[in-house]
Structure 1
Amino acid sequence: MSTDAAIRDYLATGALPALPADHFIAGAWAAPTANARMETFDPGLGKPFHEFAAGNEEDVDRAVMSADGAQDGWGRTKAGARGAILMRAAALLREEAARFAFVESLDSGKPLQEAEGDVAGAARAFEYYAGAADKIEGDTFPIGDAYLGYSHPEPVGVTAHIIPWNFPISTAARGIAPALAAGCTVVAKPAETTPLTMLMLGDLLHRAGLPEGVCNVVTGTGPAAGAPLVAHPRVRHITFTGSVPTGQGVMQAASRNVASVILELGGKSPLIVLKDADLDAAADGVIGAIYENAGQVCSAGSRLIVERAAHDALLDKVIARVKALKIGHGLRRSTLGPLNSEPHLQRVAAKVAAAKARGLSPVIGGAAAVDPETGAGWFFEPTIFDDVALDDLVVQDEIFGPVLAVQIAEDVEDAARLANGTDYALVAGIYTRDFAAAHRLARDVDAGQVYINEYFAGGIEVPFGGNRQSGFGREKGLAAVHNYLRVKSVAAKIG
């Protein structure tokens, strides 16, 4: 059946066959020990469409012990052989991309074209780290002719991956692929609202040739499955993407076992537009930066900082583009999909309502919405608050929805001051024709990654991560591989 036919069938029946329902442990599907199940929802309709395993501490222990048992064998597998398996996984993912994108769109709510891009990016991540596997090398040390000194990079061991609900397949790939390339085993816990593509990925990796136990997937809630995973004494490293409070809890749990951690947390990222910028390109960048995935992006450009001389013209262009956005079910390739869950919709709506109560008035949007074709779903209108003070919560707090705060800067220096005016420091965007000004801003703005004249520029090759409340550590690029390695140094007297 073609993708279009499958979509029509799903939208008519509300059912999608052959979806995974159990954990994936030791290379096989594994029922939950307590036989507990939970529902996953279609955010575009606000209805459940599938049940999956609700895991507990016993399920987590099974998965971790499976990974621990496989660690020595996988860690000693030739690097080239590890890379070959990852390359086969990339090829398989491309072959099955339509199915993965369909399920990703359905489970997360995002428009199908965005899910297709995420799946393509995930395949590219496996391809990239396949090529990195046999490039992991040690160093020699100049400690004199009578000595031989060298280092040997080793895999850290069992790694836990806590996968967020906003980018399930792409976030999983960017962490799991370098871990496997480095020779680590994996236990992944996808978000409870988006479990399916991670389960599919675990099975795909096994079919690509990954030995039993090297990649395991346990589903369930954060308290029941996520907490025991990050606290397990056999886990030597945790890669976490999520909220600041949960990340703090992960750090505390990891500290008890002295496990290493990467935290990719929240953001309130600025998109700076200087008065000399190409305003049409900047307006397009603003739309993508804040309304992709309905604003549910850690690195979303949720603050537009624009020089006063360009403010009115740019805002007119942005509002015109917002009016052209089409709210609708993700499988219909809408340009603005739903929020991922009803509780999250309520959180976004509450923050916008609080802003209105403080006297702020959106220039567009500002209310919950539904799919015009069905009258259902968890949608929120694309929203803009203009000329917002630096200390207002719309500027300071991560809303994680399609809500843009506009701040007006008097000059380049003021733009940098405003950009650095929150507790977050994940990414920043800059639009200007003046490359000297662009690179001064790139120097002066506190951010883990800076985009110039294209928001979300770059790819898997470019390291990504934040500073301050946005977390620490870097994913993507060759920097990611080092997260999963420990260095053993050897010094030998030979003369």
Structure 2
Amino acid sequence: MPTEHNNYCNGEWVASESGETFAVTNPAAETEVVGQLQYSTENDAKWAVEAAADAQQAWADTPGPERGQILRKAGSIASERKAELVETLVAEEGKTHSEASGEVQRSIDILFYYAEKARDHGGSIKPASSAGAEIRAKTEPVGVAGLITPWNYPSAIPAWKLAPALATGNTAVLKPASQAPLSAKKLVECLDEAGLPDGVVNFVTGSGSTIGGVLAAHEDIDAISFTGSASTGDVVYQDAAADQKRVQLEMGGKNPTVVMPSADLDEAVDIVGVGAFGTTGQSCTATSRAIVHEAVHDEFLDRMVEYAETLDIGPGRADPDMGPHVSESELEVTQEYVDVARAEGATLETGGETLDGGVHESGHFVEPTVFSDVVSEMRIAQEEVFGPVLSVIEVGDFEEAVAVANDTDYGLSASIVSEDAEEINTFVDQVESGVVKINEKTTGLELHVPFGGMKGSSNELYREQGDAGLEFYTTTKTVYANR
């Protein structure tokens, strides 16, 4: 019998008032139920918000080093439970064991990082114009944060929202994606075990429109941090704007890698391949477009097809090169885009087929897919495809490559593979992207530097991670003192 998992409100693990649950299944074997989660109501969400609001002032008054000590202890507990957390992530989201292990370690590192940041985040002193006077800028928590997180990084993204919020004295209500909520629950368990006071973090599962709607509209929520699709982000932003909540949005991407003639093609293929097919292409920073100079296009394409066809695809527990889609619906969307691309005139070079039989029998598996003869006007080159689908676009020169890279509504991550310093520097200056990489894949982020997108990938007001991650959760009070 699958374990039933409760919400976490005001320091207690409690069932929803609805009395209903929903099943979380293994993407590699849909008949395997990983757990039963609460199908929460608006009242459940409101109770969580009220608990967070009641706990906020006491948590804000808790000294920063003490808050950091709890985060540090939670990180240690997560480290001790790492094998369990990895297994949970593989089972509910489908990542390979190696990918899941890296993500869980990132979550642990984030807890430790912001534990130290909590020690010295309080403000600054500036010189005054008059002798004997003092001016200081005092940072204070925003208040109560509503955190809405996606399924594709179900451990790391909750960690990088929760940790800076808690470090700076905010309380939080966390609503994870229903496809993969257990990894976030495990993080909350670690915080609970570390001694987090009641009400400081609250965890509620269920319908995104129901729970997310309460968080966006509730008068006691002061800030909303959302990661997910652009369409849902737009709704969250509009709902939160009614009472001028602080809002942080991180949304989709259509990420390009430009490959120039000076590139080492073996390196370029590996960079693009890992970026496109790692995590089954289910990353907002995944490489979706390879924009390749005509001088190396044909050779690059041949090698890219060979790369895709050598990948081992299977259940994450076996640690293959690529795991399944998270759900049947996500797999269907990928297949729809394969059909759209072919109808538009793109050439299917390899992949695009659903896998079944053997280890693939009851999972959501698809072959890594490479299209050629793609032009920028096609939907396959414009719309986010959250799966292992790569469009190869041929260009005549560097200027065209940059123009094609920028010819999209998104601007999250972009990279260039080149040994030409002028090309590299110009690309960094001209590409419309919040993350720019040189001779690296578009995926993969450092936790101590800002992360966020441009254009339709973000509302561009606040960045996440590093010191920038603290700014969203704090406001500044300027104090003038005559002595």
Give yes or no for the alignment of 1:337 onto 2:323: yes
Select 2:187's aligned residue among 201, 204, 208.
201
Task: Give secondary structure in 2 for the equivalent of 1:252.
Answer: helix
CA distance in 2, matches of 1:312, 1:91: 50
Task: Give secondary structure in 2 for the equivalent of 1:235.
Answer: coil
Deviations 1:36-55 (A, max 9, x none): 11111111112350211011
* TM alignment of 1:56-71, pairs within 5 A: 56-71=41-56
Q: Which residue of 1 aligns with 2:17?
A: 33
Q: Which residue of 1 aligns with 2:379?
A: 393
Q: Which residue of 2 aligns with 1:454?
A: 440
CA distance in 2, matches of 1:429, 1:131: 32
Q: Which ranges of structure 1 fall in alignment gaps of 5 or more residues? A: 1-14
CA distance in 2, matches of 1:331, 1:457: 22
Q: Which residue of 2 aligns with 1:442?
A: 428
Select 1:133's aligned residue among 118, 134, 140.
118
Whether the 8 Å contact between 1:189 and 1:219 is mirrored in structure 2 is: yes
Give yes or no for the alignment of 1:23 onto 2:2: no
CA distance in 1, matches of 2:16, 2:163: 26
Q: Which residue of 2 aligns with 1:83?
A: 68
Give yes or no for the alignment of 1:487 onto 2:460: no
Select 1:429's aligned residue among 383, 392, 415.
415
* TM alignment of 1:155-166, pairs within 5 A: 155-166=141-152
**Code of the aligned partner of 1:34:** S
Whether the 8 Å contact between 2:346 and 2:373 is mirrored in structure 1 is: no
Task: Give secondary structure in 2 for the equivalent of 1:64.
Answer: helix
Q: Which ranges of structure 2 fall in alignment gaps of 5 or more residues? A: none
Q: Which residue of 2 aligns with 1:357?
A: 343
TM-score by length of 1: 0.94
CA distance in 2, matches of 1:370, 1:157: 50
* TM alignment of 1:135-154, pairs within 5 A: 135-145=120-130, 147-154=133-140
Task: Give secondary structure in 1 for the equivalent of 2:349.
Answer: coil
Task: Give secondary structure in 1 for the equivalent of 2:287.
Answer: coil
Report the CA distance between 1:143 and its aligned residue. Answer: 4.3
Report the CA distance between 1:415 and its aligned residue. Answer: 1.2
Q: Which residue of 2 aligns with 1:4?
A: none
Report the CA distance between 1:312 and its aligned residue. Answer: 1.7
Q: Which residue of 2 aligns with 1:121?
A: 106
Report the CA distance between 1:396 and its aligned residue. Answer: 0.3
Q: Which residue of 1 aligns with 2:243?
A: 257
Deviations 1:362-390 (A, max 9, x none): 10012222364252211121111113111
Task: Give secondary structure in 1 for the equivalent of 2:18.
Answer: coil
CA distance in 2, matches of 1:458, 1:243: 19
Select 1:475's aligned residue among 454, 464, 468.
464
CA distance in 1, matches of 2:63, 2:264: 50
| Residues 327 and 372 of structure 1, relative CA distance in 2, 3 Å threshold | farther
**Code of the aligned partner of 2:49:** V
CA RMSD of aligned residues (A): 1.5
**Code of the aligned partner of 2:13:** W
Whether the 8 Å contact between 2:413 and 2:433 is mirrored in structure 1 is: yes
**Code of the aligned partner of 1:70:** A
Q: Which residue of 2 aligns with 1:45?
A: 29
CA distance in 2, matches of 1:435, 1:137: 41
CA distance in 2, matches of 1:177, 1:95: 18
Report the CA distance between 1:81 and its aligned residue. Answer: 1.0
CA distance in 1, matches of 2:94, 2:445: 25
| Residues 321 and 358 of structure 1, relative CA distance in 2, 3 Å threshold | same
Whether the 8 Å contact between 1:20 and 1:199 is mirrored in structure 2 is: no
Report the CA distance between 1:453 and its aligned residue. Answer: 1.3
Select 1:97's aligned residue among 64, 82, 89.
82
Q: Which residue of 1 aligns with 2:304?
A: 318
Q: Which residue of 2 aligns with 1:11?
A: none
**Code of the aligned partner of 2:27:** P
Select 1:247's aligned residue among 205, 230, 233.
233
CA distance in 1, matches of 2:113, 2:81: 18
